[in-house]
C-alpha cells in the first residue's frame, strides 16, 4: 500500500509543479501589470506567449508522447485561427458578450483543426519517421497557400466564400472577413491574457489527465514498440490518431486565441518557420516534459524581444542561448546530476 501511495505521489508531482508554476506566473504578471511598470512591449507579448505555449503543449503530445515528428503545427494554428475569425464575424451581431464569443471561437477553432487533423492523419499515420515529417511539412505549406487565396465575406444574405479571385459582391453593409493574401482583416480583438491563462490550464488539464490514463500509456507504448503494443491488444492506428487529432485541436485552439488578439493576420504568419519555432520550444523544453515546454516557450518567445537593445547581435545571443539550452538538457553529466539531486530530495521527503 505504501509503495502504491508513493507511486501515485510521483505521478502527480510533475503535474502539481506545472500547474503551480503557471498559476504563480499568472498572478505575478497580473500584479506586475497592475503596478504599471510593465512596458508595452512585454504586455503585447503576453497573449502570443500563451498561444505558443498551448501550441507547444499540443505538439509535445504528438512529438514527445506519440513519437511522431510533426512539422506542420503552424498549419493547424492557421486552421484554428481562420475558423475563429469567420465564426467571430458571423456571430458578432448575435452575441454581444466578448467572453462568450471568444470561447465559441476557440472551441470552433479547436474542433475544425481537430477535424482537419483527423483527415490528415488518415494518410499521414500510414507513414513513419522522416516520411511522416515531410508530409506534415507539406501539409503546413498547402494550408498556407489555400488560406492565402481564400476570400470570405458576410452580409445580410449570409456568409460567402470565394477562391483565387475576389468574386464576392457583398450587399450594402457587408463586411470582408478574409481577403486573400491580406488574410483576416477587420477582426475584433477580444483575446486577453486571462483567456490565454485559462486556455493553458485547460490544455494542461486535458493532456496530463489523458497521459496518466490507459490511453496515455497506450500512446507511449505505440511510440516505444508498435509490434509489442499490438500483441498486448492495443490498436496502434486509432491510438496514434487520438494523439494526432488532440495535438492538432490544441494547435487550433492556440491559433484561435492568437487570431483574436489582432485586428488583421495574414496566412503567411503561420508558415514553416512558425512550425519549426514551436518544435524548437518542444525539443528544448524536453520531449514529453510539459513543465519544460511551458518554461522553454516563455523564455524563447520573450528573449528575442528582450534582446532588442543588442540590435544586430540579437540573433547571435539568441542562437547561443539555444545551443546552451540544448547542451544542458541533453548532457549526460548534467542529467545524471539533476537525477541524483532529485533522488536525494526524494529521500529527504520520505
Contact residues toward other proteins (CB under 8 A) are 3-4, 6-7, 10, 205-206, 209-210, 213-218, 220-221, 223-225, 227-235, 242, 288
At its nearest, how many Å lie between other proteins and the CB of residue 101? 25
Q: How far is the CB of 22 from other proteins (least distance, A)?
A: 18
Minimal distance, residue 223 CB to other proteins, in Å: 8
Residues 6+ apart with CB under 8 A from 20: none
CA dist., res. 243 & res. 77, Å (int):
16
**To the nearest whole angstrom, how small is the minimum distance from the Cβ of residue 287 to other proteins?**
9
Instruction: Tell me how crowded residue 275 is: count the other CB atoms within 10 A of its CB.
Output: 27
Instruction: Report the distance separating Cα 43 and Cα 285, nearest Å.
Output: 23
Q: Which is nearer to other proteins, 64 or 140 (CB)?
A: 64
Q: Which CB atom, from 163 or from 205, has the smaller least distance to other proteins?
A: 205
Residue 219 vs 301, nearer CB to other proteins: 219
CB of 211 closer than 8 Å to CB of 293: no
Residue 139 CA to residue 133 CA, distance in Å, equals 10
Torsion over CA of 310, 312, 317 and 320, rounded to 10 degrees?
-170
CA distance 109 to 86: 10
Measured from the CB atom, is 169 or 209 closer to other proteins? 209
E strand or H helix that includes residue 157: none
Q: Tell me the β-bridge partners of 184.
A: 178, 265
CA dihedral 195, 244, 81, 298 (to 10 degrees): 50
289: left (phi over 0), alpha (psi -120 to 50) or beta: beta
The distance of closest approach from Cβ of residue 343 to other proteins in the complex, given in angstroms and rounded to an integer, is 11
User: Which of 148/237 has CB closer to other proteins?
Assistant: 237
Please tell me what DSSP assigns to residue 158. E
Give dist(CA 63, CA 292) in Å, integer: 14
For residues 93 and 231, which CB has a smaller minimum distance to other proteins in the complex? 231
CB of 288 to other proteins, least distance (A): 8
Q: Is 262 exposed, middle or buried (0-12, 13-18, 19+ CB in 10 A)?
A: middle
* Of residues 177 and 211, the one with the C-beta less far from other proteins: 211
Cβ 7 to other proteins, closest distance in Å? Answer: 6
**Least Cβ distance, residue 270 to other proteins (angstroms):** 27
Terminal-to-terminal C-alpha distance of the chain: 15
Based on CB atoms, which residue is closest to other proteins, 64 or 183? 64
Of 98 and 230, nearer to other proteins (C-beta) is 230
CB of 233 to other proteins, least distance (A): 4
Strands annotated E in 114-189: 150-155, 158-163, 175-179
Dist. CA 92–CA 343, nearest whole Å: 55
Q: Name the phi and psi angles at 126, rounded to 5.
A: -80, -10
Amino acid at each position: 500500500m505504501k509503495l502504491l501511495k508513493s507511486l501515485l505521489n510521483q505521478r502527480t508531482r510533475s503535474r502539481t509543479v506545472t500547474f503551480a508554476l503557471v498559476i504563480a506566473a499568472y498572478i505575478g504578471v497580473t500584479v506586475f501589470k497592475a503596478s504599471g511598470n510593465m512596458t508595452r512591449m512585454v504586455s503585447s507579448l503576453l497573449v502570443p506567449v500563451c498561444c505558443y505555449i498551448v501550441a507547444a503543449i499540443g505538439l509535445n503530445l504528438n512529438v514527445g508522447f506519440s513519437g511522431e515528428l510533426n512539422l506542420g503545427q503552424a498549419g493547424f494554428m492557421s486552421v484554428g485561427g481562420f475558423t475563429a475569425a469567420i465564426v467571430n464575424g458571423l456571430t458578432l451581431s448575435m452575441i454581444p458578450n466578448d467572453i462568450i464569443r471568444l470561447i465559441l471561437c476557440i472551441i470552433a477553432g479547436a474542433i475544425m483543426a481537430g477535424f482537419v487533423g483527423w483527415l490528415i492523419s488518415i494518410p499521414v499515420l500510414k507513414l513513419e519517421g522522416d516520411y511522416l515529417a515531410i508530409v506534415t511539412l507539406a501539409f503546413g505549406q498547402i494550408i498556407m497557400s489555400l488560406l492565402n487565396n481564400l476570400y470570405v465575406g458576410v452580409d445580410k444574405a449570409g456568409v460567402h466564400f470565394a477562391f483565387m479571385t475576389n468574386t464576392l459582391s457583398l450587399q450594402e453593409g457587408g463586411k470582408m472577413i478574409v481577403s486573400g493574401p491580406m488574410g483576416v482583416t477587420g477582426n475584433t480583438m477580444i483575446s486577453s491574457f486571462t483567456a490565454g491563462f485559462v486556455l493553458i490550464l485547460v490544455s494542461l488539464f486535458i493532456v496530463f489527465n489523458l497521459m496518466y490514463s490507459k490511453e496515455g500509456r497506450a500512446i507511449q507504448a505505440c511510440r516505444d514498440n508498435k509490434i509489442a503494443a499490438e500483441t498486448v491488444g492495443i490498436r496502434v492506428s486509432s491510438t496514434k490518431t487520438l494523439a494526432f487529432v488532440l495535438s492538432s485541436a490544441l494547435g487550433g485552439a492556440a491559433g484561435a486565441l492568437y487570431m483574436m488578439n489582432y485586428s488583421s493576420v495574414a496566412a503567411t504568419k503561420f508558415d514553416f518557420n512558425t512550425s519549426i519555432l514551436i518544435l524548437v520550444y518542444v525539443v528544448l523544453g524536453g520531449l514529453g516534459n510539459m513543465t519544460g515546454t511551458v518554461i522553454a516557450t516563455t523564455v524563447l518567445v520573450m528573449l528575442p524581444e528582450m534582446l532588442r537593445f543588442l540590435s544586430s547581435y540579437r540573433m547571435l545571443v539568441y542562437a547561443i542561448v539555444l545551443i546552451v539550452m540544448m547542451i544542458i538538457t541533453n548532457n549526460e553529466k548534467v542529467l545524471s546530476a539533476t537525477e541524483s539531486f532529485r533522488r536525494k530530495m526524494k529521500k529527504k521527503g520520505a
